[in-house]
Structure 1
Amino acid sequence: MSSLKKLLEIASVAAQRFIAHDGWAIASHIALSILIALFPFLILLAALAGLFGTKSLADEAGVLIFDTWPREIAKPVVNEMHRVLTEQRGGVLTVGAVLALYFSSAGVESLRVGLNRAYGLREQRPWWLTRLESIAYVICGAFAMLAFALLVVLGPLIWRNILNVAPGLEPLSLTVAIGRIGITAILLVGVLTIAHKFVATGRRSLMAVIPGVAVTLVLWFLAGLGFGYYLDRFSNAYVSTYGSLATAMVALVFLYWLAAMFLFGGEINGTVIAARRVRLQARMREKQARAQRL
């Protein structure tokens, strides 16, 4: 019971910190930045995949991104994504690809602003250095997405060859199907961990960021179920309100809630770290008081 009370106290303090740090406003900034950065990132994926001689790999990587989205949101966005990725473009060293790289990095910068506030930190580095760091994250993220996509593409092929040699393993085919979900989950955990550990200024241990990552994943899962249920029954409200912009607005609102939950996870970590710091300072004062008495 005391553990539950402690968790509720942490959540309550984190909620207060979220509001005090303008969490809702920062969440809207993150949502808009991510939406603006999304398709430039997909263009960059296509350009990099072209270096390896296959555009289908970028298409598969893009599908991986939307695997965790509710079907009602992901389907129209994926349709546009296919159109973007199948257009013929020049090599990676074109003006368009360079601009795509720059605009994609804006999404990382928005996460940095939100996390710095959540952890109660202030960025001291010059803007151009943090921008270069964000660009590096985007490039590494693009290669990671292509690598994960390669696993997804090659996995079924390898499994079919295994079944040709050992047909008795066919009952395990469901495990291979679940593998795609597992790869997406690993990707999400990795992205969240990197964001909390390295994107915000300063450095934190892995144990210090795990609570916020876990809370964010749980909230995202519930948000996906809830938002999908809502759209399945009330999607006409968006169409009647926003007309042809309904798809973009639905995606923006969904990203807004995801961003708010992401920031709340950061506030959870910030609350726990602050509480540990207070306890450590109290112990230090107690030790000093004992030393003075002796």
Structure 2
Amino acid sequence: MSRVSILSSNQFLRALWLAVRRFNDKDGFVMSSHVAMSLMMALFPFVLFTVALAGALSQGYVTDELIELIFGAWPKDVADPIVSELRAVLAGAGSGVITLGGLLAIYFASNGVAAVRRAMTQAYHDKDIWPFWKTRLLCFALVIIGGAAILAIAAVEVVLPVYTRLVSEKTAVDVDNWLSVDRLRWTFTVAVPAGTVILAHLILPTRRHRLSQILPGVILTLALWAAGGWGFSIYIAQFATYSATYAGLAGAMAALIFLYLCSAMLILGAEYNGALIDLKNAETN
């Protein structure tokens, strides 16, 4: 191994240790609790509004695809109680979910985005100089764009398999064989969290950072999410006794703890990028 690669490896390890220290010094776990609670308050209204709107526009055809898209990357034991409650509410929901409920959903979801933005800005050591109105408009815009993107992806999951089947029937190319519904759904299930993390690092901090600067933290966060989701699903299935402790709130508490862990991993990834940037700046000065 060359000296350059050794130095690079040492730099990444130093940055990881520095990120852990900075995460602890800046009360990262407290900030993770704030982000998790904000996301929990935002999640159900936003998903309820998005799924209800999609169901109304498509006569219910994309409801299952949309729920699978949003919760597909979650541990099954965490997602199932939330999905069950979501379906129960949708079954008896009226037009208010799409009108007044939609406005409230966008507001609460913007609070979740604002909490993530504050944590990311703090992790990158950026000074937040934006006025309140600019921050809130950004959060509203991201919520609306995110909802529209989810609806578009769900529509693609419904329309594209039909199109590929027609192409396969009319031509000699068996398109449906390699572009199956399960493969397409799995691709979107992986791509949506990855794209969300990348955009969170690119857009939410006050300063704009290059893609090369944010990729290490993005990769770290996604790796921790994958390992954490697998480990948490085993813990829920084998060891957790939330039902005995929280009774009917067991599903909500499991989701809240899962979001807490995901928030901590997201913030740690941002701290890792911030530590790398600081180390590189210190070497050049």
Shared fold, TM over 0.5:
yes
- Whether 2:64 is the aligned partner of 1:40: answer no
Is 1:244 equivalent to 2:248 in the alignment? yes
Match of 2:154 in 1: 149
The one-character-per-residue Cα deviations of 1:212-270 (angstroms, maximum 9, x if unpaired) are 111111000001111111112123x1111111111111111111101000001101111
Q: Which of residues 266, 277, 283 is equivalent to 1:273?
A: 277
Query: Over alpha carbons, which structure has the higher Rg?
Result: 1
Letter in 2 for 1:249: M
Aligned to 2:112: 107
2:237 is aligned with 1:223: no
CA distance in 1: counterparts of 2:203 and 2:63, whole angstroms: 26
2:239 is paired with a residue whose SS is helix
> C-alpha distance in 1, partners of 2:175/2:54?
32
Any unmatched runs of 5+ in structure 1?
283-294
The whole-number CA distance in structure 2 between the counterparts of 1:189 and 1:168 is 31
Which of 156, 165, 169 aligns to 1:160? It is: 165
Deviation string 1:69-101 (CA, Å, 9 cap, x unpaired) is 111111111112223334443378733221111
CA contact (8 A) 2:168 2:176 kept: no
- The residue identity in structure 1 corresponding to 2:282 is V
What displacement does 1:158 show? 2.6
**Does residue 1:71 correspond to 2:76, yes or no?**
yes
Q: 1:202 aligns to what SS in structure 2?
A: coil
Amino acid aligned to 2:191: I
Measured in 1, the distance between the counterparts of 2:179 and 2:237 equals 27
2:90 paired with 1:82:
no
Find runs of 4+ consecutive structure 1 residues off by over 4 angstroms. 173-176
- Higher mean Cα deviation, 22-31 or 181-190? 181-190
Q: Given the alignment, which residue of 129, 134, 141 partners 1:136? A: 141
Cα gap change, 1:7 to 1:152, in 2 (>3 Å): same
**Distance of 2:107 and 2:126 partners within structure 1:** 25
Alpha-carbon distance in 1 for matches of 2:90, 2:128:
36
More moved, 87-96 vs 244-253: 87-96
1:213 paired residue number: 218
CA distance in 2, matches of 1:123, 1:18: 18
SS class of match (2:207): coil
CA RMSD of aligned residues (A): 2.3
**1:12 matches 2:14:** no
Q: Distance in 2 between matches of 1:228 and 1:8?
A: 29
Query: Within 1, Cα distance between the matches of 2:133 and 2:226?
Result: 35
1:159–1:247: structure 2 CA closer, same or farther, 3 Å change rule?
Answer: same
Asked if the contact 1:37/1:104 (under 8 Å) is kept, the reply is yes
Task: Calculate the TM-score normalised by the size of structure 2.
Answer: 0.89
Matching residue within 251, 254, 258 for 2:262: 258
The structure-2 alpha-carbon separation of the partners of 1:177 and 1:51, relative to structure 1 and needing over 3 Å to count, comes to closer
Contact 1:62–1:81 (CA under 8 A) maintained in structure 2? no
1:101–1:174 CA distance, 2 compared to 1 (3 A): closer
Normalised by the length of structure 1, the TM-score is 0.87
Q: Answer with 52-61 or 242-251: which moved more.
A: 52-61
For residue 97 of structure 1, what is the amino acid of its counterpart? G
Output one character per residue of 1:177-220: Cα deviation in whole Å (capped at 9) or x when no partner.
22211112221221111111111111111111111111111000
Identity across aligned pairs (percent)? 38
How many residues are treated as equivalent by the alignment?
280
**Aligned with residue 184 of structure 2, among 179, 185, 190:** 179
- Partner letter of residue 209 of structure 1? I
Taking structure 1 as reference, are residues 171 and 40 closer, same or farther at Cα in structure 2, changes over 3 Å only?
A: closer
